[in-house]
Amino acid sequence: MATIPICITDLTGDQIRELAAELSEPVYRAAQLQSWIYRRLPLFIDDMPDLPQSFRQRLAMKVRLHSLVPAHEMIGDDGTVKVLFTLADGKTIESALMPYPAGRYRSRYTVCVSTQVGCPVGCPFCATGQQGFERNLTPGEIIDQVLYFARWLRDHSNQAGSASGQLASHITNLVFMGMGEPLANYNALWQAMEMLNSPDGFDLGARHMVISTAGLVPQIERLSREQLQVGLAVSLHASSNTLRNTLVPINKKYPLDEIMPACRRYCQATGRRISFEYILFDNLNDSTEDARSLARLVAGLNCHVNLIAANPTTNGSFRPPHRSIILTFEQELRRLRIACTLRQGKGLDIDSGCGQLRSRFLQPTAGQSSHGSLHHSTGRV
């Protein structure tokens, strides 16, 4: 069977320069090529006319431009775009582009990026978690989700609202909160983020990127020593080990009494604020006492709590609370001087919670619902 050429987005900047040298091209060709890939977003190698035809022909024998193909697209009433992608090996992942018109903050477009096929954490409320884990994504498969939506915005800018000035015309933020546990695919994730941040790559500021984790303590420690000033969000969803063991099963390996000290060390080492994600489930973690317990857990930390109402799903065990309960929970946190935000859901009409679109295209196994709820959430930046 013929070998599939490597995807060019799987290469680092140094490797692209090595590729140009291997093809007997001067070093500036590597810079031209990288500019095309990350700035001008070509669909085909022949769409780069200022590269010599002979170079393009030899390049086509060595690399391909894309590692994923859109298989299904849905657009919500709020402008959220959800896409199911097929990878070279036939596996599928999903990503979302989420618009935020100007309000308290500047308008922005956020891409919710997947880092794995499936997820090893196995949260029972999450569609992806119930699909099981298949494999890590490569750096190129992570990067290409971002480049796809950058191209989508370029091609749909007038429809998307940028012409009226209501929205940015380009990607402004990345959240690694899609399918998978990002810190379980650390090396590929970090290579992708370095290229997305690089002035010679996508050139997006590190502070506009957020990594979400279910609480992998060794990787949180490692992240605290990195130079890129990316954001960190820890998905708590419970303030006791008893409940969190059920909602986030990896808590059995890394319980709260290990996660919270790691978070404190992270804040001390980096000087950056940490975010905590807390999905509210009806009659599970939404009481006033739950709010007080959460406040005690995060007290003294330079942190912000993002409250998210669970997505309505067919799984009756994980329903969203009534709006009044959510507001009471938020008010209690504020009374206790915990900075918090109630995040607006995005793409609710298109089931944009993590893994829900992919679930429609998978053969359900016995006892598995075809819909889950939100894993790391939709629209929390």
Query: Averaged over 154-166, what is the pLDDT?
Result: 59
Q: Which fold has domain 68-360?
A: TIM Barrel (3.20.20)
Residue whose tokens read 């063991």? 245
Sorting pLDDT into bands at 50, 70 and 90, what band is 104?
A: low
CA–CA gap between residue 114 and residue 321 (Å, rounded): 27
Which residue type occupies 47? D
Give exposure, 178-212, as e/b (b: 16+ Cβ within 10 Å). bbbbbbbbbebbbbbbbbbbeeebbebebebbbbb
Q: Is the per-residue pLDDT at 299 higher than 70?
A: yes
* 227 DSSP 8-state letter: S
Active-site annotation, residues: 94, 354
Q: Tell me how long the chain is.
A: 381
- Least confidently predicted of 5-9, 117-121, 252-256, 315-319: 315-319
For 23-49, what is each residue's pLDDT tens digit? Answer: 999 999 999 999 999 999 999 999 999
pTM of the model: 0.89
Distance of CA 16 to the CA centre of its chain: 26
CA–CA gap between residue 305 and residue 298 (Å, rounded): 9
Where are the CATH 3.20.20.70 domain residues in the chain?
A: 68-360
DSSP letters for 53-76: HHHHHHHHHHEES-SEEEEEEEE-
* Whether 285 contacts 316, CB under 8 Å: no
Q: CA 353 → CA 108, 304, 376, distances in Å?
A: 20, 22, 8
Helices (H), the chain: 13-22, 27-35, 53-62, 139-155, 157-160, 186-197, 217-223, 241-247, 256-270, 288-298, 323-335, 356-360
Residue whose tokens read 């669909």? 43
CA–CA gap between residue 356 and residue 38 (Å, rounded): 29
DSSP collapsed to 3 states, 268-282: HHHCCCEEEEEEECC
CA–CA gap between residue 108 and residue 170 (Å, rounded): 8
- Pairing mode of beta strands 108-112, 92-100: antiparallel
CA–CA gap between residue 301 and residue 338 (Å, rounded): 9
Where are the CATH 1.10.150.530 domain residues in the chain?
A: 6-64
* Whether 177 contacts 143, CB under 8 Å: no
Sorting pLDDT into bands at 50, 70 and 90, what band is 375?
A: very low
Sorting pLDDT into bands at 50, 70 and 90, what band is 366?
A: very low
- What is the structure's pLDDT at 164? 40
CA–CA gap between residue 32 and residue 105 (Å, rounded): 35
What mean pLDDT, rounded, does the chain reach? 88
What percent of the chain clears pLDDT 70, i.e. is strictly above it? 85
Sorting pLDDT into bands at 50, 70 and 90, what band is 358?
A: low
Query: Averaged over 2-20, what is the pLDDT?
Result: 92
CA–CA gap between residue 125 and residue 377 (Å, rounded): 11
Burial class (CB in 10 A: 0-12, 13-18, 19+), 66: buried
Q: 6-64, which class in CATH?
A: mainly alpha
CA–CA gap between residue 73 and residue 379 (Å, rounded): 18
Smallest Cα–Cα separation from 142: which of 41, 66, 220? 66
Phi, psi dihedral angles at 274 (to 5 degrees): -105, 150
